[in-house]
């Protein structure tokens, strides 16, 4: 695309983005939005909400979050920082239980509340660490979640192809065992949710990643009552079921990544899901922490070149390092660990790992495929640098909503235009900063915890619609029960599930 064509395309798209963005604002006033304003409706590991304005919002606003339990009042700690030019992001963590909660957003100048504030919730709200599923699964999805177009597309393949409906999971498992008999090559698990408890059996030698599936299922069964369902999930990065095979029907299986040659049903990656479960917790890198840390480095203070670090899991990465050696004034790229191409270490060298937040000291964040798509993209988009993304056949659950020159700057699959694109970005800094801003807005729209957990839930619901047996599931003899973890037992001893439709006496 030539320069003038790029500019015309950008002009049209930015007008659309602005109109859509302004539709959330009424009468030029500040507005509040997000699930953290209604924590009783969606109990998340960390709650959050946005403060929007159609003008560049100033910092002269304060937030106060107060809870009550057993007649005692206390403040809930929260973090509050700029998210985009027109918004702030507030996130906070719930205590084990509150009888009521009030959220205030007000002006420091006048002391007056902004429109929509205060918000008062006068009912008991339990932490998501508490095993208090107080929502019917379908009711929760209908109230809180929309159906993502990628989910529709993934399931439509099976609806129109030769896969028999209703689905027979036992028959699918037999086909998988026949097609993938080598336990060292592929790993997958058969899960069943029965009476809101988790059961599974796994196939393959490398099944340690089942802990990430366990974690999200445990979370969902703590906040909702999920109808009995069974499904199959791939534990590897590489998708499993090719669309063109010698088998008479396609076998549905959930995966974290795929390309158009595969029919796997996408789920958010284990990395993004775990980060959503651990926000304000043990995991340092998540979309909120990136947003906060990167905000301390304004654009004009960033290093004016591209940056990349990573393993040697793709020949494109080797080429990236060669380009860096040829144009060190434009690009700083380095391999931090060799495994696949150890014979290249002497030629290309090795660099120390870089703390993730240090990437945002640079203006241009380069991302190229590893074994499959690079799972770090949500965090790169969440910061205030701009992403240069390699064109790729691999995609995750949200990739088809990414638009080149709107959310990121594209680079060719062979990286032949990388230096040219960095030079273009240097010349068009105002536009590039808008692209960066749009990337953050896309994260807000698609990749915050609310959307991640909704996506999991909607896939489970669509899967269940197609099962052969809609009633109670029979737990296979080879399945093990995976109980709720005891890691939060000290925290959870203070849980109160008085208003829950379903309670666990041991808590």
pLDDT in tens, 476-491: 999 999 999 986 666 6
Cα dihedral sign, 307-310-314-317: positive
The pLDDT, as a whole number, for residue 496 is 80
| Mean pLDDT, residues 333-344 taken together | 91
- What CA–CA distance (Å, rounded) separates 265 from 458? 12
28-131 and 284-449 share one CATH topology? no
The pLDDT, as a whole number, for residue 325 is 96
| Mean pLDDT, residues 234-260 taken together | 91
Under the banding of pLDDT at 50, 70 and 90, the label for residue 410 is very high
Q: Please list the alpha-helical segments (H only) found in 258-339.
A: 270-277, 287-294, 315-326
Is pLDDT at 303 greater than 60 in this prediction? yes
SS3 336: strand
The pLDDT, as a whole number, for residue 4 is 56
Q: Which CATH number is 28-131 given?
A: 2.60.40.10
- What CA–CA distance (Å, rounded) separates 210 from 234? 9
The pLDDT, as a whole number, for residue 11 is 45
Is pLDDT at 336 greater than 60 in this prediction? yes
The pLDDT, as a whole number, for residue 488 is 63
The pLDDT, as a whole number, for residue 285 is 83
The pLDDT, as a whole number, for residue 53 is 81
Read off the pLDDT of residues 121-169 as tens digits, 9 standing for 90 and up.
999 999 999 999 988 999 999 999 989 999 999 999 998 876 677 899 9
Read off the pLDDT of residues 419-459 as tens digits, 9 standing for 90 and up.
999 999 999 999 999 999 999 999 999 999 999 999 999 99
- Choose between 342 and 365: higher pLDDT: 365
Q: What is the DSSP string of 6-45?
A: HHHHHHHHHHHHHHHHHTT--TT--EEESGGG-TTTS--S
Under the banding of pLDDT at 50, 70 and 90, the label for residue 494 is confident
Percentage of the residues of the chain whose pLDDT score is greater than 70: 88
Cα dihedral sign, 160-163-169-172: negative
The pLDDT, as a whole number, for residue 442 is 96
Contact (Cβ atoms closer than 8 angstroms) between residue 51 and residue 84? no
Contact (Cβ atoms closer than 8 angstroms) between residue 405 and residue 385? no
Q: Which residues contact 296 (CB under 8 A, 6 or more apart)?
A: none
| Mean pLDDT, residues 68-87 taken together | 87
The pLDDT, as a whole number, for residue 13 is 41
- Exposed/middle/buried for residue 272 (C-beta within 10 Å: 0-12, 13-18, 19+): buried
Domain map of the chain by residue range? 28-131, 138-273+459-492, 284-449
Contact (Cβ atoms closer than 8 angstroms) between residue 200 and residue 289? no
The pLDDT, as a whole number, for residue 455 is 98
What mean pLDDT, rounded, does the chain reach? Answer: 88
- What CA–CA distance (Å, rounded) separates 118 from 106? 9
Tell me the range of 24-33, 346-355, 451-460 where mean pLDDT is highest.
451-460
Under the banding of pLDDT at 50, 70 and 90, the label for residue 24 is very low
- What CA–CA distance (Å, rounded) separates 332 from 276? 30
* pTM for the full predicted model: 0.90
- What CA–CA distance (Å, rounded) separates 499 from 133? 10
Under the banding of pLDDT at 50, 70 and 90, the label for residue 244 is confident
Strands 303-311 and 265-266: unpaired
With b for 16 or more beta-carbon neighbours within 10 A and e for fewer, the 313-343 pattern comes to bbeebbbbbebbeebeebbbbbbeeeeebee
Contact (Cβ atoms closer than 8 angstroms) between residue 425 and residue 402? no
Q: Which residues contact 390 (CB under 8 A, 6 or more apart)?
A: 316, 366, 367, 368, 369, 411, 412, 413, 415
CATH 3.30.1330.30 fits 284-449, yes or no: no
SS3 380: helix
- Exposed/middle/buried for residue 2 (C-beta within 10 Å: 0-12, 13-18, 19+): exposed
The pLDDT, as a whole number, for residue 504 is 40
Sheet holding 409-411, edge to edge: 331-337, 303-311, 362-367, 386-390, 409-411
The pLDDT, as a whole number, for residue 58 is 64
């Amino acid at each position: 695309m030539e320069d003038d064509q790029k500019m015309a395309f950008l002009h049209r798209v930015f007008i659309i983005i602005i109109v859509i963005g302004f539709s959330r604002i009424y009468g030029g006033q500040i507005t509040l939005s997000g699930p953290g304003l209604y924590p009783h409706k969606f109990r998340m590991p960390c709650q959050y909400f946005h403060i929007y304005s159609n003008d560049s919002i100033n910092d002269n606003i304060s937030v106060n979050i107060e809870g009550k339990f057993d007649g005692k009042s206390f403040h809930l700690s929260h973090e509050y920082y700029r998210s985009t030019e027109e918004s702030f992001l507030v996130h906070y963590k719930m205590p084990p239980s509150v009888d009521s909660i009030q959220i205030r957003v007000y002006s420091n100048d006048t002391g007056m509340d902004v429109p929509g504030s205060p918000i008062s919730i006068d009912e008991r709200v339990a932490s998501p660490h508490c095993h208090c599923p107080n929502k019917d699964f379908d009711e929760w999805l209908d109230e809180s979640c929309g159906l993502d177009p990628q989910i529709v597309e993934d399931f439509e393949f099976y609806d129109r192809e030769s896969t028999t409906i209703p689905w027979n999971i036992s028959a699918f498992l037999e086909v998988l065992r026949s097609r993938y008999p080598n336990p060292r090559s592929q790993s997958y698990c058969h899960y069943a949710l029965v009476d809101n408890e988790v059961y599974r059996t796994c196939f393959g030698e490398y099944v340690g990643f089942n802990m990430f599936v366990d974690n999200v299922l445990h979370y969902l069964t703590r906040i909702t009552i999920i109808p009995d369902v069974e499904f199959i999930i791939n534990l590897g990065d590489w998708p499993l079921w090719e669309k063109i095979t010698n088998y008479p029907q396609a076998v549905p299986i959930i995966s974290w990544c795929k390309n158009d040659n595969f029919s796997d049903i996408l789920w958010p990656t284990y990395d993004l899901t775990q980060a959503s479960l651990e926000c304000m917790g043990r995991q340092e890198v998540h979309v909120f922490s990136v947003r906060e840390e990167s905000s301390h480095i304004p654009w004009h203070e960033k290093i004016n070149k591209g940056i990349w670090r990573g393993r040697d899991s793709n020949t494109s990465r080797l080429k990236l390092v060669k380009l860096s050696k040829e144009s060190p004034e434009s690009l700083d790229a380095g391999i931090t660990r060799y495994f696949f191409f150890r014979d290249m270490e002497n030629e290309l060298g090795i660099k120390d790992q870089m703390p993730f937040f240090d990437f945002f000291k640079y203006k241009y964040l380069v991302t190229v495929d590893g074994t499959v798509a690079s799972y770090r993209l949500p965090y790169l988009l969440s910061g205030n640098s701009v992403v240069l993304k390699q064109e790729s056949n691999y995609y995750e659950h949200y990739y088809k909503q990414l638009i080149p020159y709107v959310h990121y700057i594209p680079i060719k699959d062979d990286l032949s235009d990388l230096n040219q694109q960095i030079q273009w970005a240097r010349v068009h800094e105002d536009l590039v900063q808008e692209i960066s801003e749009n990337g953050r807005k896309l994260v807000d729209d698609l990749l915050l915890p609310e959307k991640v957990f909704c996506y999991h839930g909607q896939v489970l619901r669509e899967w269940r619609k197609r099962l052969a047996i809609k009633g109670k599931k029979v737990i296979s003899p080879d399945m093990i029960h995976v109980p709720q973890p005891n890691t939060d037992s000290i925290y959870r001893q203070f849980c109160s599930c008085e208003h829950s439709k379903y309670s666990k006496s041991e808590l």
